[in-house]
Amino acid sequence: MIKRRTQRVILSLLCLLVLPGCWDRTEINDMAFILVSALDLEANNKIRYSVMVPLPGQMGGASGGGGGTAGEKSYYIDSEVGSTYREAQMKMQRRMSRRMFLAHRRTILVGEELAKKGISEFFDPTPRSPESRMSTYLIVTKGYAYKMMQSNPRFERFPSEAIRELVKARYVADMNFKDFGLALSIPGSDPVAVYMDVTDSQKSEKSSKEVELKGYAQFKRDKFVGTYEDMAANGLSWLRNQHVLANITVHVEQQHLMNLKLYGVKSRVDVSLGQDALNFKIHVNVRAKLTENRSYYDLSQTQNLLKVEQATSDYVKKSIQTIIARMTKSQTDSAQLGTMVWRSYPNEWKKQYEKNWPEGLKKAKFTIDVESEITDTGLIYENVLKEH
Amino acid sequence: MLRSSKRNKKEKNTLHETLQKHDYQFIQDLRSVPIFMELSENKAYLSDLFKDCSDFVIREFQLEHSSNAIMFFVDGMVDTELANDTMKSLMTLEDGEPLLDEIVQRNLPVSQTQKTDNYSDLLISVLGGDVGLIVHNNNQAVLLGIRGMQTRSISEPETESVIRGPREGFVENIRTNTSMLRRKLKTPHLKMKNLTIGRESNTCVVVTYLENLADPGIVQEVLRRLEKIDIDAVLESGYLEEFIQDSSYSPFPQVQYTERPDTVAAALLQGRVGIVVDGTPFVLIVPFVFTEILQASEDYYERFQIATLIRWLRYLFLVLSLLTPGLYVAITTFHQDLLPTSLLLSVAAAREAIPFPAVVEALIMEVTFEGLREAGIRLPKTIGSAVSILGALVVGQAAVQAGIVSAPMVIVVSMTGIASFTIPRFNGAIAIRMLRFPIIFAAAVFGMFGILICILIILGHLANLRSFGIPYLSPIGPLSAADLKDVVIRNPWWAMRERPEYMPLQDIVRQGDALSTEIIMQEGQKGMSIQHQEKEEEGDTES
C-alpha cells in the first residue's frame, strides 16, 4: 500500500516537472545580444534607437581564427524611430529573428542633440527591465550617437568593445549609468558623462574611423550644456578626487619642455561658512613621474627638480581654477561641491543655498593649495648624449 | 525491483533411492550425520556423496597393525608431497588399535589439525582444501591443514596504484590476505573472527578489528548483519556489501572496499571493522563516511602540503564533475547574462551550426563518454588503445567538425571526465557519475534553480545516510571540529595526535605527546647540537 502511494507521489512530481514547460528556456542561438545601443533625437520629438548586435555565425567559431572573409563585419547595426525607446526597440524586433537581449549591453551612447534635450526620461525604461544593467557606461557622443557605432576601430572585434575599453581605461573617471543617476538625484550636484568622438586615424595606409576620448560632457541637471576637455577635464577629475592618469606638459623657466605623468593625485575639499560666502579650501597632493625632458635640463640638481615640481603644482592649480571658472560661468556644479555643502551644513544649505544652488558658487572663495612630488625621473637624470 | 528471488524449493528427486539415505539440500544439513565407527561405512557414504566427482580422492591404507584408515581430499587443493609424508608416518605406526588422540599427538607431522564428529564440518573443511582422515573404530575424523592450492601471487593492486606506498595488494586466498594484515599489525589485539556464509559456496569470511579500539557495538552489529545472510553463494564481497549496508537504495556507497592491506590496517587503527571474503581481493571496511571518498592512502605517505593541496583539488573536482554539464546547460539556456560577453559570444559562435538544443547536446556527449569509458574497461588491453583512438576522434574531433556538438561541450565533457577520475574511491565516483544526469535534466527544465534543488536533495539525502550508525557526513555534519584536521587539510603525522572523534573509539590517543610537542615547538627536530665527526682523512666521514 505504502509502495503504491509513493509511486503515485513520484508520478505526480514527475508531472510537475513537465507541466510548467520550458517557458524560460532560450537557446543561446535564439538571442541577439545587444552590445551597445545608441539614442538620438529625430524630428517631431521622436527617438531613434539603434543597436549593435553580433553575428555569431560570422565570427568563424573557435577554429576559424577571426573568420576568413575580410571586410565582412561580424556584427550588424539596425535602427528604428519611435515615440518611446521600447516602441522603437519592438519595431526593430519585428525584423529580427532573434530576441534582443539587453544583459550584455555595456555601453549606452547618447547623441548630442538628445542630450541637450535632457535624458532623465531614459532612467525609466532601463531600470524597469531586469535585463539591463545599471553598471552600463553612459557616453555622450559628438554629433549623432549612431555615427559612433559606424566607426571601425582596428583593435577590437566590435566598436562597442573599443568604446568600453577606452571608458574603462584610467584616463577618464570611471562613471557608469548608476553614477549619472545618483548625481542627478542628490542635492547640489550636476552629472557629467564621458564625452567621445569619432576621428580618422592619421597617415595610415588605410584610414580607419577610431573612437576617441574627448573629456567630459557637462550637464546642467539632465541637459547637456557643454564639454570639458584637456585642462578642464583633468581639473574636474582632480577636484572630484577621481583616480585618473594624466599626462601633462609644462614649461620650466619658460624654456624647458617637460612631460610628466601624474599618477597619484589626491585632493581634499574642505567647506566652511564664511561671512557671507562659502569658503572652499582645496588641498591637492600630486605624485608624478617625469617621462620626458625635451631640453638638456639637469635633473640631478635638487633645485631644478623643485622647479619642475613647482611648475607641476602651478599646472594643477591652473586646471582646477579653469574648471571652477567654467562651472561658475555656466552655473553648473559638475564637481558636486553643493553636495559637500549639503552634507556639512544641512541647515544652512536648506535655508540659503538649496533654491538656486549654483548661484552660491559665484560668491564662494576658493583657496587652492597644491603640493607636488616627483617620485622619479626614470632611469636617467638627463639626456644620455649630454657631454659633461 | 531488486527483491531477492525466492529460493526454489527443489522438488524431491525420487529417482535414486540411494539418495533417500542422505537427503540433504545444503551441506549444513549433514550436521546430524555422525562419523561412523565402521570404516567401510564411512567410505561407502563418502563415495556415494561424491559420486561422479572425479576430483575427489579417497585413499584407503593400512596402519602397521592392520588397522585401516582412509584419507580423502580434493585433488589440486592439497600439497601432495605433504600428504604423502603424512601417510608415510601413519603407515609406520606400530601400536595396535591406537586411539585417535594418540595418533594426532604422536604420529601426525602436521601443524594444523582439527577434530570433528560430523559430516558437515568435515566436508566443509575438506572441500576447502584440508585433508580428511578417518581411522577405523573412531567416531571422529581428523582434518589436516596441508593446503597447497594454486593461487595468484601477490602483486600490485591495479585499481589503487600509488606512486609512493606499499605495492602489495590482496589476492583471492583469504589466508594470504589475513596474513598480510597480520604482518602490518603484529598484535594480539588484532582479532579475526571466522564466519561461513553461503549455503553452496560455504565461503569463509573473516571479520577483523582491533579489540582495544573498535566499538564493540559496531563489531557486534557487523557480525549480526553477516550472520543473518542466507544466500546460496558469496562470490565477491559486493554480495555482502549489498546485504549489510544501511540504506539499500542510496547511490552512495556506505561500505568501503579496498585492495590494499595498508588501507585496511589504517582503517582498523581508526576503529573500523574489516570484512575479508575468501575468493576476492576486495576487503570491505565499515563504517564508511563521505569524506573518505576523497581520501587516498597515498595522502598519508606523501608530504602533507601536497596532500592538503590535492585534497582541495579533489573537493573542487568533485563539485565540477557533478555540476559542470548541468551548469553548462543552465547557463546557456537560462542565464546567458552570467557569462562574460566575450565568452558568451565564443560559445554562441561555436553553437551557431549545432542542430540540437544544449540539453540534447550535453546528453549525447555524456552518454557517449560513459559508453567509451565502459568499452575501455571491458576490452582487452590490446584493443583498448583502439577504443581510445576512436574516442579521441569521435568525441573530440569529428563530432565538432561535423557540427553535431559544439567545442565548448567537448571541453565540458572532458572536464567532467577528468574531474570524476580524480575521485580516489571508485564507488564514490560512480555515485557522482549517476547523479550528473538528473542534474542535467533539472538544469534543462528549471535552470540554476533546478540545480540548486538537486544539490539540496542530495545534501539532504547525504545528511540522512548512516553507515553502521555513524552519520555519513561526519565529521562535517554533525561537526566535530577536531576531525577537520584530516578533512580540510591533511595534518602532518606529528600533529595527528588523536584518532577521529566521530568514531566511537575505546582509545582516542594515537601517539605520545613528547615528540609531537617538541616538533611543534621548534618546527622540526633541529640538528644543531649533533656532534659531527671531525674530518680526518679523505673519503666519507659521514656518520
Kindly report, residue by residue over A2-60, the tens digit of the pLDDT: 688 888 888 888 777 667 665 678 888 889 999 999 999 998 889 999 999 998 887 76
Q: Measured between alpha carbons, how far is A323 from A329 in angstroms, rounded to an integer?
A: 10
Q: Tell me which chain A residue has its CA closest to the CA of residue B359.
A: A27
Contacts of residue A7, defined as CB under 8 A and 6 or more positions apart, other chains included, come to: none
Cβ <8 Å between B348 and A22: no
pLDDT in tens, A64-86: 444 444 456 788 899 999 999 99
Q: What is the amino acid identity at position B452?
A: L
Q: Domain residues of chain B, as ranges?
A: 24-144, 174-288, 304-451, 492-522
Q: Tell me which chain B residue has its CA closest to the CA of residue A21.
A: B445
Q: Tell me which chain A residue has its CA closest to the CA of residue B336.
A: A28
Q: Measured between alpha carbons, how far is B162 from B153 in angstroms, rounded to an integer?
A: 19
Which residues in chain A have their CB less than 8 angstroms from residue B333's CB? 25-28
Which residues in chain A have their CB less than 8 angstroms from residue B445's CB? 17-18, 20, 22, 25
Cβ <8 Å between B345 and A33: yes
Cβ <8 Å between B341 and A35: yes
Q: Measured between alpha carbons, how far is A164 from A136 in angstroms, rounded to an integer?
A: 9
Cβ <8 Å between A33 and B332: no
What's the angle, vertex CA A77, arms to CA A74 and CA A79, rounded to 5?
165
Cβ <8 Å between A57 and B447: no
Query: If you write DSSP's letter for every residue of A246-302 in order, what string do you get?
Result: EEEEEEETTTEEEEEEE---EEEEEEEE-SSSEEEEEEEEEEEEEEEESS---TTSH
Interface test with B, best of A25, A76, A157 (most B CBs within 10 A): A25
Cβ <8 Å between A62 and B350: yes
Cβ <8 Å between B336 and A22: no
Which residues in chain B have their CB less than 8 angstroms from residue A20's CB? 445
Cβ <8 Å between A104 and B444: no
| Chain B closest-CA separation from residue A199 CA (Å) | 26
Cβ <8 Å between A33 and B357: no
- How crowded is the C-beta side of A90, counted as CA atoms within 13 Å? 7
Give residues 319 to 338 of B whose Cβ lies within 8 Å of A.
332-334, 336-337
Query: If you write DSSP's letter for every residue of A119-183 in order, what string do you get?
Result: -GGGGTHHHHSTTS-TT-EEEEESS-HHHHHT---SSSSSHHHHHHHHHHSTTS---BHHHHHHH
pLDDT for position B10: 42
Query: If you write DSSP's letter for every residue of B284-319 in order, what string do you get?
Result: EEES--GGGGG--GGGGTS-HHHHHHHHHHHHHHHH
Cβ <8 Å between B349 and A61: yes
Q: Tell me which chain A residue has its CA closest to the CA of residue B350.
A: A61
**Contact call for residues A339 and A187 (beta carbons, < 8 A):** yes
| Chain B closest-CA separation from residue A11 CA (Å) | 16
Residue with cell 599626462: A247
Cβ <8 Å between B357 and A31: no
pLDDT for position A260: 92
Give residues 211 to 270 of B whose Cβ lies within 8 Å of A.
none
Going residue by residue through chain B (543 aa), what tens digit of pLDDT does each one get?
444 444 444 444 443 444 445 567 778 788 888 888 888 888 998 998 898 999 999 998 887 766 788 999 999 889 888 888 888 888 876 666 667 787 788 778 888 888 888 888 898 889 888 999 998 888 889 999 888 888 889 999 988 888 999 999 999 999 999 999 999 999 999 999 999 999 888 899 999 999 999 999 999 999 999 999 999 999 999 999 999 999 999 999 999 999 999 999 999 999 999 999 999 999 999 999 999 999 999 999 999 999 999 999 999 999 999 999 999 999 999 999 899 988 998 899 888 888 888 999 999 989 988 888 888 888 887 787 788 788 777 777 888 888 888 889 989 998 998 998 999 999 999 999 999 999 999 999 889 999 999 999 999 999 999 999 999 998 998 899 889 989 999 999 998 889 999 999 988 899 888 888 888 888 888 877 788 887 766 555 454
| Chain-centre distance for alpha carbon A103 | 19
Residue closest to A154 by CA, chosen among A199, A194, A109, A195: A199
Cβ <8 Å between A56 and B345: yes
Cβ <8 Å between A28 and B333: yes
Asked if pLDDT for residue A193 goes beyond 60, the answer is yes
Section A192-203 average pLDDT = 92
pLDDT in tens, A272-281: 988 878 899 9
Cβ <8 Å between A18 and B358: no
Interface test with A, best of B329, B331, B334, B336 (most A CBs within 10 A): B336
Cβ <8 Å between A54 and B345: yes
Q: Measured between alpha carbons, how far is A219 from A192 in angstroms, rounded to an integer?
A: 6
CA torsion A199-A202-A208-A214 (nearest 10°) is -20
Q: What is the ipTM of this complex?
A: 0.84
Number of A–B residue contacts, CB under 8 Å: 76
Would an 8 Å CB–CB cutoff place B448 in contact with chain A?
no
| Chain A closest-CA separation from residue B336 CA (Å) | 7
Would an 8 Å CB–CB cutoff place B347 in contact with chain A?
yes
Cβ <8 Å between A106 and B341: yes
Cβ <8 Å between A26 and B341: no
Would an 8 Å CB–CB cutoff place B279 in contact with chain A?
no
Give chain A's mean pLDDT: 88
Q: Which residues of A14-50 are buried (b: 16+ CB within 10 A; e: fewer)?
A: eeeeeeeeeeebbbbbebbbbbbbbbbbbeeeebbbb
β-partners of residue A381 are none
Which residues in chain B have their CB less than 8 angstroms from residue A103's CB? 336-337
C-alpha distances (whole Å) from B206 to each of A136, B131, B503 are: 69, 22, 22
pLDDT for position A60: 62
Which residues in chain B have their CB less than 8 angstroms from residue A59's CB? 345-346, 349
Interface test with B, best of A18, A24, A28 (most B CBs within 10 A): A28
A240 versus B397: which is more confidently predicted?
A240
Would an 8 Å CB–CB cutoff place B534 in contact with chain A?
no
pLDDT for position A65: 44
Q: Tell me which chain B residue has its CA closest to the CA of residue A16.
A: B445
Write the residue in B332, B353, B445 that is nearest to A28 by C-beta. B332
Q: Measured between alpha carbons, how far is B12 from A143 in angstroms, rounded to an integer?
A: 104
- What confidence category does residue A146 fall into, taking pLDDT thresholds of 50, 70 and 90? very high
Which CATH number applies to A230-388: 3.40.50.300, 3.10.20.30, 3.30.300.210, 3.30.230.10?
Answer: 3.30.300.210
| Chain B closest-CA separation from residue A18 CA (Å) | 8
| Chain B closest-CA separation from residue A103 CA (Å) | 5
Q: Measured between alpha carbons, how far is A37 from A141 in angstroms, rounded to an integer?
A: 12
pLDDT for position B389: 81
Which residues in chain B have their CB less than 8 angstroms from residue A3's CB? none
Would an 8 Å CB–CB cutoff place B445 in contact with chain A?
yes
Q: Tell me which chain A residue has its CA closest to the CA of residue B361.
A: A27
Would an 8 Å CB–CB cutoff place B114 in contact with chain A?
no
Would an 8 Å CB–CB cutoff place B311 in contact with chain A?
no
Section A119-131 average pLDDT = 87
Residue closest to B346 by CA, chosen among B409, B440, B416, B415: B409
Cβ <8 Å between B334 and A17: no
- Cβ-based interface (< 8 Å): residues of A facing B: 17-18, 20, 22, 24-29, 31, 33, 35, 54, 56-57, 59-63, 101, 103-104, 106, 131, 161
Which residues in chain B have their CB less than 8 angstroms from residue A159's CB? none
What percent helix, strand, coil does chain B show, rounded to 5? 45, 10, 40
CATH 3.30.300.210 residue spans of chain A? 230-388
Cβ <8 Å between B348 and A101: no
Q: Measured between alpha carbons, how far is B35 from B211 in angstroms, rounded to an integer?
A: 37
